[in-house]
């Protein structure tokens, strides 16, 4: 899933539209499930990506919650 921007900091995510953020969230969740499956089998290529994806998901959810308030 290399369609995600390199930097997924809060500033970049806030500049994105809501639909784009939600689409990215779906992509990241799918990638996270795939990485978790790979980790369970012991064949993770990039173990640091798991942490990056998990944090990116949390950032998106935080921004969505802030904007819904």
pLDDT single digits (tens) 23-54: 999 999 999 999 999 999 999 889 899 999 99
Within-domain flag for 4: no
pTM of the predicted model, to two decimals? 0.86
Q: Considering the domain boundaries, does residue 24 fall inside one?
A: yes
pLDDT at position 1 is: 47
Q: Is 5 inside a domain boundary?
A: no
From CA 58, how far away is CA 39, in angstroms rounded?
Answer: 20
**Could you read off the pLDDT of 3-14 as tens digits, one per residue?**
555 678 999 999
For the beta carbon of residue 5, count every other beta carbon within 10 angstroms: 11
- Residue 20, domain extent: 10-68
CATH (domain of 50): 1.10.287.310
Domain count, the chain: 1
pLDDT at 21: 96
Q: So what's the pLDDT on residue 48? A: 93
Phi, psi of 8 (to 5 degrees): -115, 55
């Amino acid at each position: 899933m290399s369609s995600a921007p390199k930097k997924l900091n809060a500033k970049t995510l806030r500049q994105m539209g809501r639909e784009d953020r939600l689409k990215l969230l779906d992509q990241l969740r799918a990638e996270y499930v795939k990485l978790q499956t790979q980790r369970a089998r012991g064949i993770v290529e990039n173990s640091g990506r798991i942490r990056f994806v998990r944090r990116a998901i949390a950032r998106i959810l935080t921004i969505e919650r802030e904007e819904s308030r």
